[in-house]
Amino acid sequence: MSQSAGFADVDEKTAEYLCAWAPQMLSGRPEIVAITPFTDEVWRVETADGRKMVVKQQLFGFLTQGKAYDLLTVEREVLGLLHEAGCPVPEVLGVDDDRQCIFFAWVGDDTLDDALQAGDTVLIGPAIEGLCTIERMCDRHAARLVSRVVPTAGRDELVAVWDATGERAHEGLEQLSRRLGQSRDMARAVLLLAEMHRWLAERPPSLGSTDYNARNVVVDPDGTRVRFIEFAKIGWDWTERRLVQYTTSMGSGRADGRMRSALHRDAALHYTEISGRAEGARALDGHQIFFLLNGVAMLCAALDGGPRAEALLARWCEPAARLRQFAVMLCQALSADPVAAEFRDELRICLTSDGDRL
């Protein structure tokens, strides 16, 4: 086929495939007039009658074909259940098992990550409500979905992951004290961190996506709603942990990128009300502390020349400013939890203006 202007950024074989398959997913089989790559495996396809869809090739899906956690099968099944129940997810239009491609209705180009980097936090309400709706529906269908859990995200695996998260948080606390603080005994802060870790570990996890970050929340073109994407892998985790990471932008890969979160105390209270979960705000507060301290540990390991240091520092620009952003966010409370409050008091005493030893 001849390469038209609308396909200029796509290789010819990909364009041929999408032009042949995408029309089959829509009534009337409209002609494809434009293909825009989002990544090497994700494309937006536009038709002559103005409709759009998104096509994703699940390359790792070839490794899971025939298994209970087959990526293509899981994403089609989970999104089908959620969309039918009215959850904020895209509709699955069809799949091609041979090419491991899945076709979605288009729901927007921009993500919550983009919105947060622009300083827009107004979508925190829809994000909270949407995630709670999704998690309730996954819980309702848990008996059906539990066999689809990816082996790395079972309940036992979550225990191991959370233990490792606690260890990295401890490392992050020590690094923050050393680089931005003054010489001071942090033993009390370490004990408080361990207490929060134990309390969070005792809360029941829920079934849901294992791929939760602000780039997997798509903002509708009207700018008032969100849609959650990426459900090829499901597993056990805490809703509050997912929500913290869904609503935090790391600013990765942006020259002017910075840490931004949509969460605040009123949002945490809203989550508690919507979710119906006791002490939901306290859990959000704790998970945000651990998420941020893990980020500190990753950044400082890269500054010390650890594994993949060059790649991480290329994505996280201006590490000195980023480290201070981590510190500022750690001092912002989401709840009235006395343990978290005392931890922050210890942190504030340590992080004085006399510090800063990057």
- Measured CA to CA, the distance from residue 285 to residue 65 in angstroms comes to 39
- Measured CA to CA, the distance from residue 284 to residue 268 in angstroms comes to 7
- Measured CA to CA, the distance from residue 343 to residue 251 in angstroms comes to 26
Q: pTM score, two decimals?
A: 0.94
Select from 234, 62, 58, 229 the least CA-distant residue to 148: 234
The residue ranges of every structural domain in the chain are 5-105, 112-350
Helix (H, G, I), strand (E, B) or coil at 157: helix
- Measured CA to CA, the distance from residue 338 to residue 62 in angstroms comes to 49
pLDDT tens, N- to C-terminus, the chain (358 residues): 444 657 878 899 999 999 999 999 999 999 999 999 999 999 999 999 999 999 999 999 999 999 999 999 999 999 999 999 999 999 999 999 999 999 999 999 999 999 999 999 999 999 999 999 999 999 999 999 999 999 999 999 999 999 999 999 999 999 999 898 766 788 999 999 999 999 999 999 999 999 999 999 999 999 999 999 999 999 999 999 999 999 999 999 998 899 999 999 999 999 999 999 999 999 999 999 999 999 999 999 999 998 889 999 999 989 999 999 999 999 999 999 999 999 999 998 888 644 444 3
- The size of the chain, in residues, is 358
Structure tokens that stand for 53 in this block:
């869809």
- Measured CA to CA, the distance from residue 250 to residue 66 in angstroms comes to 36
Identify the DSSP state of 30.
Answer: P
CATH of 112-350, picked from 2.60.420, 3.90.320, 2.40.50, 3.90.1200, is 3.90.1200
* Fold designation for 5-105: Phosphorylase Kinase; domain 1 (3.30.200)
Q: Please give the pLDDT value at position 350.
A: 81
- Measured CA to CA, the distance from residue 77 to residue 44 in angstroms comes to 22
Q: Please give the pLDDT value at position 51.
A: 97
Select from 296, 220, 243, 56 the least CA-distant residue to 131: 243
Question: 35 has which bridge partners?
Answer: 45
